[in-house]
A and B are shown apart, each in its own frame.
Chain A
């Protein structure tokens, strides 16, 4: 194996963001999945990427972890812990793996069905820390305890199908955290889980973030999860970031009509009466196959004017956040 690229270990240096993505573009064949995506994850903070299916949020997560399928094409820069990993080879990225933990939505698919939980968690320590088999197993038990798995010495002997969905997701988180990463990327880890299990995973994520000081990139389509977890938010639509900023600012003063629509959906769900129709964002989510000129949200936007059909707005700073909208909310002259 090649030695690690020559660089100072910046672990713990608060000046270096665990993850910085600059002007990222991703294509799958002819389809552009990401356009000009730029964001940073700060140490000890959670950045939530929120969007619908096809918004590019998972592509951004996979790109940041260099896990995109081989057929994809990528431009721009991804800095993991200050190191540009955009054009690194697989082997070079592998050396940096310990700094990055990744939790995917489908734990059942991510875990190997024919290996015991203990073997899979212990492998991290054997491969990356050179621990002996018995040492690694002890380390595995320790990390499983940390993610609040009851009776870890018994659980290490089980196979993934013998665990509940919530337990499997905990094992995934244990694997992601095993080597004390600087960055945790979680791609919709609670989608499809029960609310009570989701609540436990969110509590766990908060506790681990506070304890480890790692930066977290959390992908979700649920504004409620964002409200609970996020320090900062980036709202994605049609492969772009259409609004970003501190979570409190976005919830208090959304600027982009799409952000506002997402928030209305959430408030309506929490406060509406029985039998009442749910607030519904008009129209259909955009399709990568047929990109449209102008602002990608204009066909669904109640504020759209002619300009929006012709010119794509760029992200502009306004009062503590940034939004890509020609006619942002809360800026009207009164």
Chain B
């Protein structure tokens, strides 16, 4: 953790359009070896598109994506080589596992696809299942036998069986019970201490992201609006949208309710991209926000915010410029 290595994957001004819709705009970050990057924002903010771009399922409209410093070339062979290094875990373990295939085969499938012949495939599947907390799972059992948490472990085993360098988790706990969420998050935390794997953790749950992510990117309408060390983003949010996200988390006692008051203005999905994309909801909006796009600028050590009027908080305590590696920092 303290000796984060080279960037595994980097975005350099990556933009993705779907027809006229801008899904991701000018996204830049480095994810360093051994680090976990949290990606938060509401649905439609571009989080999942970032994941699909990272794994090469989508091609950027603009801007390169680098794997260990070398640009992706979207040829089949190059992509297959990169994908061998990327494990993916999806939201719904009921959708992502084929119910007709025994779990041993599910977990070993990537080995077959990538023609990994070294060692015993069965042994590898068994060892990987043990590593995700299913040491006694019979390889010939079917997904139906497992609960949501068990299935998500199987999905994680499949993602890990090739010993990838990067694990992409797209809302891995959103469809699970709270008690099972904890198991999956704890499993990810264990993986992090056991290996040098880098992880992208996409979620709309800031509490969960806070547990696992060293750095966090907050996305709104396809743009990175705040990027920085997770503790700082959660403790001292500088972008009004980050603050809004934090205040939307329910309280923990009927006497500490947070959600009274007026509802947020509902906005149409077509966001004006001339200025700041958050203007329709921002309580502190000024004229300049409508006409000029705020650049993502450093406001405090390691923290970058795309806002002309970032929130003033107390300075983050115990954060020195050299106390965390510069992963997830935009160029």
Footprint of B on A, CB under 8 Å?
52-53, 148-151, 164-165, 191-192, 194-200, 202-204, 206-207, 221-225, 227-228, 230, 247-248, 251, 261-262, 265-267, 269-272, 274-281, 284-285
B245: CB under 8 A from chain A? yes
B74: CB under 8 A from chain A? no
Residues of chain A with a CB closer than 8 A to B212's CB: 275
In the bound assembly, the distance between CA atoms of A229 and B37 in angstroms comes to 32
A-B pair count, CB < 8 Å, reads 134
Residues of chain A with a CB closer than 8 A to B231's CB: 274
Closest to A198 in B: B248
Question: Counting chain A CB atoms within 10 Å of each CB, which of B147, B248, B253, B255 scores highest?
Answer: B253
Contact call B252/A277, Cβ cutoff below 8 A: no
Contact call A149/B266, Cβ cutoff below 8 A: yes
Residues of chain A with a CB closer than 8 A to B96's CB: none
Contact call A279/B254, Cβ cutoff below 8 A: no
In the bound assembly, the distance between CA atoms of A281 and B178 in angstroms comes to 10
Q: Which listed residue (A194, A204, A276) contacts B42, Cβ 8 A? A: A194
Q: Which listed residue (A164, A266, A271, A281) contacts B43, Cβ 8 A? A: A164
Contact call A150/B42, Cβ cutoff below 8 A: no
Contact A228 to B251, CB < 8 A, known contacts A52-B177, A194-B43, A272-B211: yes
B100: CB under 8 A from chain A? no
Q: Which listed residue (A195, A203, A269, A272) contacts B261, Cβ 8 A? A: A203
B189: CB under 8 A from chain A? yes
Contacts A/B (CB < 8 Å), 25 sampled: A52-B177, A148-B263, A149-B266, A150-B266, A164-B269, A195-B249, A199-B247, A199-B250, A202-B259, A203-B259, A203-B260, A203-B262, A221-B177, A222-B178, A224-B252, A227-B254, A269-B208, A270-B249, A274-B231, A275-B189, A275-B211, A278-B186, A280-B183, A285-B177, A285-B179
In the bound assembly, the distance between CA atoms of A39 and B214 in angstroms comes to 45
Closest to A281 in B: B179
In the bound assembly, the distance between CA atoms of A209 and B186 in angstroms comes to 38
Residues of chain B with a CB closer than 8 A to A262's CB: 178
Residues of chain B with a CB closer than 8 A to A227's CB: 250-254, 256-257
Contact call B186/A285, Cβ cutoff below 8 A: no
In the bound assembly, the distance between CA atoms of A265 and B185 in angstroms comes to 13
Contact A228 to B257, CB < 8 A, known contacts A199-B248, A267-B252, A278-B186: yes
A16 to chain B, nearest CB (A): 26
B264: CB under 8 A from chain A? yes
Contact call B263/A280, Cβ cutoff below 8 A: no
B155 to chain A, nearest CB (A): 17
B207: CB under 8 A from chain A? yes
Contact call B178/A221, Cβ cutoff below 8 A: yes
Contact call B175/A223, Cβ cutoff below 8 A: no
B329 to chain A, nearest CB (A): 18
Contact A224 to B147, CB < 8 A, known contacts A192-B174, A195-B205, A202-B259: no
Interface residues of B in 253-295 (CB under 8 A from A): 253-264, 266-269
B56: CB under 8 A from chain A? no
Residues of chain B with a CB closer than 8 A to A148's CB: 263, 266
Interface residues of B in 224-248 (CB under 8 A from A): 230-231, 244-245, 247-248
Contact call A284/B254, Cβ cutoff below 8 A: no
Contact A279 to B211, CB < 8 A, known contacts A195-B206, A196-B245, A198-B248: no
B84: CB under 8 A from chain A? no
In the bound assembly, the distance between CA atoms of A199 and B264 in angstroms comes to 9
